[in-house]
A and B are shown apart, each in its own frame.
Chain A
Amino acid sequence: MTYLADVGTLARKDLLLELRARDTLPAMLLFVLSTLVIFHFVLPGDSSELAAAGLLWVAIVFTSLLGLSRAFAAEREQGVIDGLVLAPIDRSAIWLGKAISILVFLGLAEIVAVPAFAIFFRPVSGAMIAGIVLADLGIAAVGTLLAAMAAASRARELLLPLLFLPLAIPIVVGGVGASVTGDPARYVGFLGLYDALFAIICWASFEYVVTE
């Protein structure tokens, strides 16, 4: 039970910081809305509505990248990460707490972005919502670990998209499949499989990312 309490404390710390400083979430919201406006001008008038559904996934991936690049900024600038590693907690709790806070940011950004998409472009199906929720889980799990890696490197924010995008390709495949095909169940199932597999790997390997 202490494990879950540790995770809860760490996630609450991140959310409280965000509530006080408000530097990540407003940026994500503005970013995702401006991308939707850009998509309106990117799509030629006679392009299909399916193309818009695909572009929503571009917006989701890049918005999450924006949030992830800031994920460990506070820890790095204030040297908190060393303190967290030295604290008497399981190291994977640091990953889980951070992943939960990223998930909340991403969810809040999408609560605005998805209805906006539905108004601007085309109605959103239930399978699409399921796809988005499962994709968020995968993005938060993998992205948090990669953000911790990027924070440990010299290149920092520059490196994160390079590490993250190849791993996000299966998420995009599953998400777009769930949004545009007539048989979304297998794509939703695929996203669930991806989440489970990578969550286990991230959970098991996070310790090696923050320790030496």
Chain B
Amino acid sequence: MSTWLRNNRLAALAALAFALISTAIGLVFFYAPVDEDGLNQKIFYFHVGIALTAYACFAWGGWKALRVLWKRDENADLESYVAIHQGVIFGALTLVTGSIWARYRWGHWWEWHEDQLVLFFVLFLFYAAYFMLRFSVPPGPRRVNLSAVYALFGVALVPVSILAIRLSQRFIHPVAFDRGGPNMAGSQFFAFCVSWAAMLVLAATLYHVELAGKRIDVRLRELREALR
């Protein structure tokens, strides 16, 4: 069993992601109670899960970037890039789901008073510039170094931006977690946790798929160089 898992990690991850997402959808729509906001708060289960997953991807990318600079780990560069790529995809999804939620909650597609939306917009711009930087430097050690340093800046930028946006705006975003623990009913919290886990596993699956593809690309290029 364990060797099968090791050989088919991608397939197992994909199956787990599918099962978790199906369970999460079932739980969110049929198990978690509808609270006073009405049906529109259902998107919240996915929105927050996706946002936290995007953070996890950025953190993973930052960790791999640190490994690049610290241990000179050659594989870590590609891993850092793929993690940030997944983070940007989930970040864009956060913006879209957040916008939809803002439309139904406040009647506008964009709400400057919603801290998370503004923060994700800033992060989206920052990490979009990461790709601009990465692809305007020729492949090689210089690209590895510059990408890693910029990814590390992202790790510092996230808490600084959270603080900045909190300072700059009055706080009207409903607080899902405060110091007293989760601010929702137990069944809602359970549905949220399953949906968050589903998003994390989905991100991990996509990460491994993209990484496998990128590694084949690199290997192919090396073989072509060797044949020339």
Query: What residues of chain A have their CB less than 8 Å away from a CB belonging to chain B?
Result: 145, 149, 152-155, 159, 162-163, 165-167, 169-170, 173-174, 176-177, 186-187, 190, 193-194, 197-198, 201, 205, 208-209, 211-212
- List 11 additional A-B contacts (Cβ < 8 Å) besides A170-B160, A177-B167, A193-B163: A153-B133, A154-B136, A155-B136, A159-B136, A165-B125, A167-B157, A169-B122, A169-B164, A170-B163, A201-B152, A208-B146
Q: Is B218 an interface residue (CB 8 A)?
A: no
The 10 tightest CB contacts between A and B, nearest first, are: A166-B126, A170-B164, A155-B136, A153-B136, A173-B164, A212-B141, A162-B129, A208-B145, A154-B136, A205-B149
Q: How far is the CA of A205 from the CA of B152 in the complex (A)?
A: 9
Known: A159-B132, A173-B164. A154 touches B137 (CB 8 A): yes
Q: How far is the CA of A173 from the CA of B149 in the complex (A)?
A: 24
Q: How far is the CA of A153 from the CA of B141 in the complex (A)?
A: 13
Q: Is B107 an interface residue (CB 8 A)?
A: no
Q: With a CB–CB cut-off of 8 A, which chain B residues contact A198?
A: 153, 156
Q: With a CB–CB cut-off of 8 A, which chain B residues contact A152?
A: 137, 142, 146
Q: With a CB–CB cut-off of 8 A, which chain B residues contact A154?
A: 136-138
Known: A173-B167, A186-B167, A208-B69. A167 touches B126 (CB 8 A): yes
Give min CB distance, B164 to chain A, whole Å: 4
Give min CB distance, A206 to chain B, whole Å: 8
